[in-house]
Amino acid sequence: MTTVGCSHLEALITHRALPVDDDSFDTGWDAPRLEFSPELGIYPTSRPNPDTLRSAATSRTPTDSRLARYSEVDVLVEVRRAAPLSSKTPLPPSDEMCDCEFDLGEDADQLEEPVSRVFDCQHRLSVFMILFVEDKARLLRFARTGVSMTPAFDYTRRPEVLGTFLHRLSRSTSRTAAGHDPTATRANEADTELFRNLHTRTNYHAASAVGRGLRDAATGGWPVYRLCVEGRFSRDGSAAVLPDAPVSRREYLVGRPMSTWEPSAGRGTKMHIAYDPARDQVVVIKDSWRGNPESVRSEYDTYLQLYAAKHRLDGLFSIPTLLGGGDVTWEGAIQEARTSGSPDLVPVSTRVHCRLVFKEVCRHLEEFISSSELVKVTLYALNGAWKAANILHRDVSVDSILILDKNPEDPPDPQTSKGLLADWDLARTKDELKDLALTPNTRSGTWPFISARLQHSDIDQPHELADDLESFVHVLNYCALAHLPHDLSSQDHTLASFVSRVYHHVRPASDGGRETGSLEKLERLAKGTPFVYLLPQRQPLQHLLDALSELCSQHYHHIQFAPPPPLPRRPREGVSFEVLKDNVDELGVCFVDPEFESESVDAEPTERPPPRIDPPAPGPDPSKSPFKNHAAIYRQFLHVLRPPAPPSSSSSSSSSSSLHPSPAHGGPGHLWPVGDKIHRASPSHWQRGPGVQCHWQRLGPGGRQH
C-alpha cells in the first residue's frame, strides 16, 4: 500500500470463518452458523481500530483479533486456491469492466455474504472486491444491478493494474468513487450521542415498538448516519403527503437497520427507524432500489393512488401513512445503478434509489402476542384496496403485514392493535395486470407465500386476486408453524424440515421453463389438508385454518385441480382460554364488498354456526371459486373473531367451565388460548437451508429477485 502511495489506506488480515452466536444476523435454532469473513480488508487509516472495537457484523469481543469490520471497510479482498466462479458469457480481451452472470456454485455464500454485510452496515452505491486465484486476479464491483468484473490478469506480471486501482482509490477526493452514498454521511459526535440515548426517554416504554426500535438501532458497533431525503412531504407531519406538496429537504438520523434483504443485487431494501431532530419526530424510512423505472409505477405513486381512493370512497382499508420522500437525488440528478457492459453480453438494467418516510412505527407480524392478535391483524391487512382502488398488492407475506399499536410508545396491547398492509412496491392496477409490457413473465412476491398456482404455472398465468388471498392463508399457516404450539412445535429438526420442504423448496427449471414450487404445498391445497395441527384441537384458529383449507380446496377444484381425499387429523391437548374484546363492528366496516355488506354485523349476537361452505359444483367453474372476491375468506375471519353468544337461560352464567370449549359450546371461534405464543429463536434457517438461497426471498419478473 505504501509503494503505490496509498497513505490513507491500509490492508488488514481478517479471520476466514467465525461462528455467529448473537442476534446481529439471525442464523437459526440449532447451532451457530459459520460466517465467512474476507481474507483481507482495505480500510481507511482514519477509522477506529478494528482490533479494539466490536465488529458491526458479528459483535465480537475485543479478545478476537483482526475481525472484518464491515462498517469501516472500503475494499474486500478474497484469496482462493481454485476458481470460485465461472462466467456464463465470454469475456472481452481487455481491461474494461464487463457485466456477467456468474455460476458461483458452492462458493456463492462465501463471496456474496461479506458483500451483503457491507451493504447492510454502510450506505453504499457499490462495493469493490479484489479476487486472487493463484497467480491471477480480478477486480469486481458489486452493485444493485449485479456484478461487474475485469478479465483475469497475472498480478505478478502486471502489478500496475492493482497499483493504479488502489492509488486512484486513495487519491480520490470524493467518497463516491469508492462506492459510498453521498446523501448518507456519518453523524457527528453530538448527533451520535443524541440518537443512541433516544430510547432512554421516559415517554418511550422499553417494551413499546418505538422504545425497542430505537434501542436496537443504537446497537454498539453500528455507526449512526445522517440521511438526506429530498422530496414532497406532509405539511403537518401527521397526514399523508399530498401530490401538490412543495419539494423540500429533510435530514434524519439512523443507526442499525430494522431489517435488510439479501443478496447485494436487487432491491436491497433496508428499513430504518429514524429520528427527525428538526421536528423531534420518530419515523420509519424504507430505503430500496426499484427496478424498471421507465415502465413501472413507483411505490410512492402507488401510495398516492391508494390515498386518493381511500379519501374518495371514505374507505378504511389499512395502509401505512406516507409522510414523504421519493427518488433519491444528488446535485440535481437521480441516483441510479446501471449495468455497464456491452448489451450484446448482458441486457442493460437500471435501478433507481428511493427513500420513503412513514409515520407509523409498528411491530413485525411475527411479534404478535397471541393467536387472536395474529388473526385480527391479518384481517385488517386483508383489506379492500382491490375493490376500492383496483390495485392488487402481489406480495402478501409476513414482512408486508405490520402490527400497529394504539400508542406505539406504550407497551403492546393485543386488544387494541391493528394491522397494516405495507410494501406496495410490486403492486399493479387492474389495467396494468392486463398489459404484458408492464408485467412481463410475472411471478411476483415472496417465495414461501406465493400461491401454488403461480409456482406451478407457465409465464402466461396472470397474478390475480385469488393468488393474493391464498398468500394470506400461507401467512397464517407459516406464523402458526413458527410461533404457536402444535404437534411438531417440540421437534425443531422435523419442523424445520417440513417448513423448508413445503414453503421454501424450489424445484429447478427444466426444458427452458422456470423454477416451480413444492408439490406437497400444491397437494395440501388441492386436498384441503391443513398445514398445521394446533394444540389444543378445539380452538378458534384451528377452526379458521380448517375452513381456509376447505376454501383453498374448492378454489383449486374450480381452477381444475381435483382435491384428493383429506388426510387424517391428529390428537390435541388443552389450555386456558380468553374472551376477545367486541370490536367486530370496527372490523366489519373496513370491508367494502357489496356481497358481504348484505350481511348484518350489528345484529344481537346469537348462537352462530360456522359460515356454510357449499360443496364444489360437479364441474370446474372459475367464476364459482371462493377466492373470486374477499367475501368467503372474510366471513371465516369474522366468524372466529365475533364475541361468544350469550348463554341460554338454562345454562349457568357463572360456571368457570364456560372458559373452556366443549361440544356443547355454541359454535367455534369465540374463546381464544391465553398466551399461546411460543418464544423461540428466529427460524431463519428455514430460509437458509440446503438448496434454498436468500435470493428467493422476494421475486419479480422472470422469477428473479426484484
With CA atoms as reference, report the closest residue to 578 among 366, 362, 376, 318: 376
Cα–Cα distance for residue pair 652/607, rounded to 1 Å: 16
Q: Where are the alpha helices (DSSP H) in 54-130?
A: 108-121
- For residue 638, the model assigns a pLDDT of 83
pLDDT at 55 over 90: no
The answer to whether 282 and 271 are in contact (CB under 8 A) is: no
Calculate mean pLDDT across residues 82-99: 46
Q: Per-residue pLDDT tens for 122-144?
A: 999 999 999 998 899 999 999 99
With CA atoms as reference, report the closest residue to 673 among 379, 372, 376: 372
pLDDT at 115 over 80: yes
**150-183 burial code (b ≥16 CB/10 A, e <16):** bbbbebeeeeebbbebbbebbeeeeeeebbbbeb
Domain map of the chain by residue range? 9-178, 184-359, 363-648+681-696
The answer to whether 290 and 352 are in contact (CB under 8 A) is: yes
Q: Which cell is 108 given? A: 456463492
The answer to whether 404 and 360 are in contact (CB under 8 A) is: yes
Residue 673 — very low, low, confident or very high, per pLDDT cuts 50/70/90? Answer: confident
The answer to whether 252 and 274 are in contact (CB under 8 A) is: yes
Amino acid at 236: D
Relative to beta strand 126-133, strand 75-80 is parallel
Higher pLDDT, 32 or 338: 338
The answer to whether 189 and 195 are in contact (CB under 8 A) is: no
Relative to beta strand 146-149, strand 136-143 is antiparallel
pTM of the complete model: 0.82
**611-626 burial code (b ≥16 CB/10 A, e <16):** bebeebeeeeeeeebb
Crossing angle of helices 540-558 and 519-527, rounded to 10°: 100
Handedness of CA 303, 307, 310, 313 (dihedral sign): negative
In this prediction, what percent of the chain has a pLDDT beyond 70? 70
- For residue 442, the model assigns a pLDDT of 59
With CA atoms as reference, report the closest residue to 478 among 463, 494, 498: 498
- For residue 347, the model assigns a pLDDT of 54
Handedness of CA 586, 449, 500, 685 (dihedral sign): negative
Cα–Cα distance for residue pair 600/314, rounded to 1 Å: 20
Structure letter (DSSP) for residue 392 = E
Higher pLDDT, 358 or 686: 358
Residue 259 — very low, low, confident or very high, per pLDDT cuts 50/70/90? Answer: very high
Higher pLDDT, 471 or 590: 471
DSSP state letters, 608-652: -PPPP-PPPPSS--GGG-TTSSSHHHHHHHHHHHSPPPPPPTTS-
- For residue 586, the model assigns a pLDDT of 55
Q: What are phi and psi of 379, to 5 degrees?
A: -65, -40
pLDDT at 269 over 80: yes
Q: Per-residue pLDDT tens for 596-653?
A: 444 443 333 334 456 666 666 666 788 888 888 888 888 888 888 876 655 554 444 4
In this prediction, what percent of the chain has a pLDDT beyond 90? 46
Least trusted range by pLDDT, from 122-136, 508-522, 528-542, 674-688 = 674-688
Cα–Cα distance for residue pair 389/378, rounded to 1 Å: 20
263 cis-preceded (ω within 30 degrees of 0): yes
